Amino acid sequence: MVSRVIPVDPFDLVIFGATGDLARRKILPGLFRRYCAGQMPEEARIIGAARSEMDDDGFRDLVREAVRKFGGGRDCSDEALEGFLAHVGYEHVDAMGEGGWETLKARLRDGMVRAFYFSVAPSLFGALAERLRGFGLADDDSRVVVEKPFGKDLASARALNSTLAEHFDETQIYRIDHYLGKETVQNLMAVRFGNMLFEPLWNAQFVDHIQITVAETVDVSGRGAYYDKSGAMRDMVQNHLMQLLCLIAMEPPARFEPDSVRDEKLKVIRALDPVDYHHIVRGQYIADEKQPGYRSHVEDPRSTTESFVAMKISISNWRWAGTPFYLRTGKALKSQASEIAVVFKDAPHSIFGPEAGRHANVLVIRLQPNEGMTLGVTIKEPGPGGMRLKDVALDMSFADALGPDAEDIPDAYERLIMDVIRGNQTLFMRGDEVEAAWTWTDPIIEGWQRRGEVPKEYDAGSSGPDDALMLMHRDGRKWRDIKA
């Protein structure tokens, strides 16, 4: 059995923005699945809040529809859904207004964990925090959960941090990066710090380079206006890829505890060198005969926002000096695939002679699809004909290794919301971490703007611009194929 479900303490969870896309697609179905798994105690209450006027039953209809559309779990029945809905209510509240707060407060009970999920635009975080304190809904034990994007640059992230800090202590603030809630991402820590095998080799002496790829097939249609103001650097690199980089590069924390882990991640971000602009490739997908390109999707024929980024990064510390990290992410690529590949150095001397070729071990951690790990090892090609070497994969997929239990693994949002109720901040970003990430990202974006840089074109359905291939070819290295 992989998941030993331990019920969390009784809670009141208020979701601001409960009628929105994120709540309907992720938060509410996720909570339902935790209910089905037996993790939600009988006393738990979920209160939706938004400006739309509706009563409890109206909101229950919305939740019922959301769960049916976006998925219950393996053990979720119609009866379970009705049972879950008995825990759900709604209050009509405007984050910017004064009405509804007293009624919402009257719904909250003493002696429960109290959490407030801000699933609304970041421009409302300040108003919400102020009213939660002002109307006495939140106290020093309450928790607030805030969604990405956490700022669009260092200045805005600092402003958000200081607004939240006026009303809440850092120990009460849970900044979500849902990548950290993914089972395989947590597995990165298990692989690194639960095995003796890898740690002695996990450094510049033995690792040639590391590739981190988060490739998406989806384009930006439907969210073009939002995306065009952001771009791949802000939308993916500053948060998700940075978190993966930290987990793969950090020193072993003394304990698996929030500040131990987050201190080590922060040290990695602070050790990042500024990126030479020759070491970054920005891309934008173009139209083909079948589909429109990026600029049509964002309805701006002159947009210079990137839908793809590839970069070479170096970390100035004892462990990693001399080992480059190559990151790439993009939309409208040929496959949906997220993985981290640790490419080890060749053996220092081949006893088999030059005809045996060069062989390097590669550890690939697949985040999606088909989560699992592959370790490339070199063996002898069977049969006569001398010592011919061949690389083969020791391949482990979670689904095969864990059997049907793998289906019960909570998705990222489920896991993270339960962590909020448990009061465990390990998988949430601390304010200084977010600011450090922007401190590193801002000069890159400013450089593009200063130089008036236009992204390189790439075909939708490809691996990205040719220049991204060159980024590695120049170093005598090669990207792994993006394949699902």
Ligand X SMILES: NC(=O)c1ccc[n+]([C@@H]2O[C@H](COP(=O)([O-])OP(=O)(O)OC[C@H]3O[C@@H](n4cnc5c(N)ncnc54)[C@H](OP(=O)(O)O)[C@@H]3O)[C@@H](O)[C@H]2O)c1
Interface residues with ligand X (CB under 6 A) are 16-23, 50-52, 93-96, 119-122, 124, 147-149
- As measured in angstroms, the least distance from the Cβ of 128 to ligand X is 8
Please tell me the number of Cα atoms within 13 Å of 42 on its side-chain side.
0
Distance in Å, CB of 31 to ligand X, minimum:
15
Least distance (Å) between residue 185 CB and ligand X:
16
Q: What does residue 221 show for φ and ψ, rounded to 5 degrees?
A: -60, 140
Residue 316 amino acid letter: S
Report the alpha-carbon distance of residue 268 to residue 437 in Å, rounded: 10
Backbone angles phi, psi at 346, to 5 degrees: -65, 160
Of the two residues 59 and 344, which places its CB atom closer to ligand X in the complex?
A: 59
Is the Cβ of residue 242 or residue 363 nearer to ligand X in the bound state?
Answer: 242
Give the list of residues 6+ apart from residue 416 with CB closer than 8 angstroms, or none.
Answer: 174, 176, 178, 180, 181, 427, 428
Which residue of the chain is nearest ligand X when measured via CB? 20
Q: For residues 211 and 243, which CB has a smaller minimum distance to ligand X in the complex?
A: 243
Q: List alpha helices for 324-430, DSSP H.
A: 398-402, 412-422
Rounded Cα distance between 216 and 337, Å, is 7
**Cα–Cα distance, 394 to 373 (Å, whole number):** 8
**Nearest-approach distance from CB 151 to ligand X, in angstroms:** 11
Give the phi and the psi of residue 184 in degrees, each rounded to 5: -70, -30
In whole angstroms, how close is the CB of 93 to ligand X at the nearest point?
A: 6
| Catalytic-labelled residue, pool 92, 167, 240, 359 | 240
Please name the residue that has the structure tokens 């969870």. Answer: 13
Q: In the complex with ligand X, which residue's Cβ is closer, 121 or 190?
A: 121
d(CA 147, CA 18): 13
Any catalytic annotation for residue 278?
no
Single-letter amino acid, residue 116: F
Q: Between β-strands 308-313 and 362-368, what pairing exists: parallel, antiparallel or unpaired?
A: unpaired
Q: Judged by CB, which is closer to ligand X: 96, or 454?
A: 96
Q: Which residues are catalytic?
A: 240
